[in-house]
Every structure is written in structure tokens, then in C-alpha cells.
Amino acid sequence: MSVLSALDYTAVIVFAISGALAASRAQLDIVGFAFVACLTAVGGGTIRDVLLNRDAVFWISDPTYILIATLIATIVFFTAHLFESRLKALMWADAIALGVAVAAGAGVALKLGQPPVIIALMGVATGCFGGLMRDVVCNEVPLILTQGELYASAALAGAIAMITASYLDFTPIYSYISCAVLTFGLRAGSLIFGWSLPVYKSRPPRF
């Protein structure tokens, strides 16, 4: 298994957990659990592969990804009540998955020889769009649009770290690690310490 495949599998597993937890908060049935878990798990990677025009979308060439996400959804369906705070568990699962998925998305684009802007955008898309779909389907305010939240900005910073590491001739594994660690670190800081971006505040017009 290649490093990129391992990153995809890890992202699918953790995003599936976050999707199933979101389904539990929405009190869906087991089919709803499976749908939301799979949507969250493969949504960002699907957009990445379609935009990059890869030979086959990753989960179509290897349906094991879908089977894993469905299995995780089933397990969470029967165990979600054991979590003291499902929202807290969801947020941390999402933070871990974000770091891994950004590294996977940016890594695929880097391996295909895409320019830096596309590498960064593919990292952000892979990391953010699965969670965005999850939140929209479950009628939640998307984390990516939460006021001041370090989410897409954390993903972008991680992708830039990978681009920088590649230009410094780091080996690929260290580039992936730098991306995942920085992305997760910024997201964790937002959750623990309240790190945030400044938000726009309207001012009364001057006459």
C-alpha cells in the first residue's frame, strides 16, 4: 500500500466516524447513518479526483473504502450512546480527519505535477468538502462557514506547508507529515484555545 493510499484509508475511517456521529445527533436510522458516513468519508476525495481528471475516482477503483465506511456507520449506530458528548467526539474526529485528508489531497496533486495553486486547492477541497456535505445534509451550520473558525484556513496552511517542504526537497513522507501536523495543530488550537480569524463587523454609515 502506498503512503497516499494509507492516507486516503485513514481519512475515510475517521471522516466516516464523524459522519456517523453527525447522523446520531440527527437521530437518523441505520441507512441514514451509512449514507452520511459514506458521504462524509468520500465526498472530498471524490471532488479531488473528478477535478484532477484521475483515471478513476478512488472509491470506484477500490470499493473497499465504501465497505469500511458502512461498517463504521453500523458500529457507531450501536455505540454512539456511549459517548459522553457526541458533538465533542465529532469535532475531534473531524479535526484528525481534516489533517489527514488535506495531506492526501495535496499529495495526490503534487504527485501529478500540478502547480502550487492547484496543490493547495486540492488539499483544501479534499479536507473540507466531505464535512461540508455532512453538515448540510444533517441541517447543521457547516464548520467551514462558522464565524472565525480555523478550518479552511488550517487546511490551506497545511497544504502550503507541503508545497514548501517539497520545494525544500523533503522526502514525501515528511512533506505529508508536516501538512497533517500543521493542519491538525491549527484546528486543535481553535478547539482548545479558541484561536480564530478576525471577522467582518459592519459599521454605521457616515453621513
What is the grid cell recorded at 133?
Answer: 456535505
- Identify which of 73, 124, 94, 104 has the alpha carbon closest to the alpha carbon of residue 8: 104
Residue 1 has pLDDT above 90, yes or no: no
Cα 121 to Cα 105: distance, rounded to the nearest angstrom: 9
**Domain extents in the chain:** 3-193
What is the grid cell recorded at 164?
Answer: 514548501
Residue 207 has pLDDT above 70, yes or no: no
Give the least confident one: 18-27, 55-64, 111-120, 198-207. Answer: 198-207
- Segment 32-66, tens digit of pLDDT: 999 999 999 999 999 999 999 988 899 999 999 99
pTM above 0.95, yes or no: no
Residue 123 has, within 13 A of its CA and on its CB side, a CA count of 34
Residue 28 has pLDDT above 80, yes or no: yes
Burial 57-84 (b: 16+ CB within 10 A, else e): bbbeeeeebbebbbebbeebbeebeeee
Residue 2 has pLDDT above 90, yes or no: no
Which residue, chain included where needed, has cell 495535496?
A: 106
